[in-house]
Amino acid sequence: EAGVVQSPRYKIIEKKQPVAFWCNPISGHNTLYWYLQNLGQGPELLIRYENEEAVDDSQLPKDRFSAERLKGVDSTLKIQPAELGDSAVYLCASSLQGNEQFFGPGTRLTVL
Amino acid sequence: DQQVKQNSPSLSVQEGRISILNCDYTNSMFDYFLWYKKYPAEGPTFLISISSIKDKNEDGRFTVFLNKSAKHLSLHIVPSQPGDSAVYFCAATEGGKLIFGQGTELSVKP
């Protein structure tokens, strides 16, 4: 069974530029999460989807961050414009039911 | 306000000995606790979990202990192996939301 797929794995951009990350969850998993992980910290939830619906986006900085999950499968997370402080690893995870979440490898973003 | 805390950023253990990783939490509403393991350039992978109604869960070399009165969680690895070297994250759930600690980097030396 394929795991959670994320692309790109690495991205380097200049500040004020837009950037987008893509996630393909494990087949059949209805719940999808985007996390932000800063260096030396644990992942922090940005947004959680149940199928197409964003059920928890309270930690998503909505002035510059947006996300979508069309058709309840793949998801994209966008930052526009990016700031220096956005440099981090962006993790996508999915789950079927219960508490266990399966994580992708993450996208390491560097904003110069 | 850190609801899940791992106060030891690193731990070094000799191969074959016991590794004990600790985690403290503040929210008594947490109903499920998990440990994740993370290698460099990979996402966290699930290791073991425990419900708040239990005080111990064992899976092979890994045992998680929960002390609800102390709001303390620990992961024991016996015997430790060099392949266990990784960053370990403690996490807790409330209403489907996972809250992670800062992580502890375990180094198991041959």
Q: Which positions in chain B touch A43 (Cβ < 8 Å)?
A: 44, 89, 98, 100
Tell me how many degrees the CA angle B76-B78-B83 measures, rounded to the nearest 5: 100
pLDDT at A6 over 70: yes
Confidence band of A71 (pLDDT split at 50, 70, 90): confident
Answer yes or no: do A101 and B97 touch at CB < 8 A: no
CA-CA distance, B76 to B78, in Å (whole number)? Answer: 6
Tell me how many degrees the CA angle A60-A42-B69 measures, rounded to the nearest 5: 110
Kindly give the confidence (pLDDT) of every residue in chain B, 110 residues in length, as a single tens digit, with 9 standing for 90 and above: 789 999 999 999 999 999 999 999 999 999 999 999 999 989 999 999 999 999 999 999 999 999 999 999 999 999 999 999 999 999 999 877 899 999 999 999 99
What domains can be seen in chain B, in order of their start residue? 4-109 (2.60.40.10)
Looking at 2.60.40.10, 3.40.50.300, 3.40.720.10, 1.10.3720.10, the CATH number of the domain A5-111 comes to 2.60.40.10
Question: What integer pLDDT is reported at residue A1 of this predicted model?
Answer: 64
Q: Map out the domains of chain A as residue ranges.
A: 5-111
Mutate to test the interface with B, among A5, A31, A99 (most CBs of B within 10 A): A99
Chain A residue with CA closest to B40: the answer is: A105
- For the segment A72-96, the average pLDDT, to the nearest whole number, is 95
Q: Which positions in chain B touch A45 (Cβ < 8 Å)?
A: 97-99
Chain A: give the shortest CA distance to residue B90, in Å.
9
High-pLDDT (> 70) share of chain A, %: 98
> Which tokens go with A94?
């999915």
Question: What integer pLDDT is reported at residue B71 of this predicted model?
Answer: 96
Chain A: give the shortest CA distance to residue B103, in Å.
6
Answer yes or no: do A42 and B4 touch at CB < 8 A: yes
**Cβ partners under 8 Å of residue A71, min gap 6:** A52
Edge to edge, the sheet with strand A5-7 lists A5-7, A19-24, A75-79, A65-68
Question: What integer pLDDT is reported at residue A90 of this predicted model?
Answer: 98
Residue B24, helix vs strand vs coil? strand
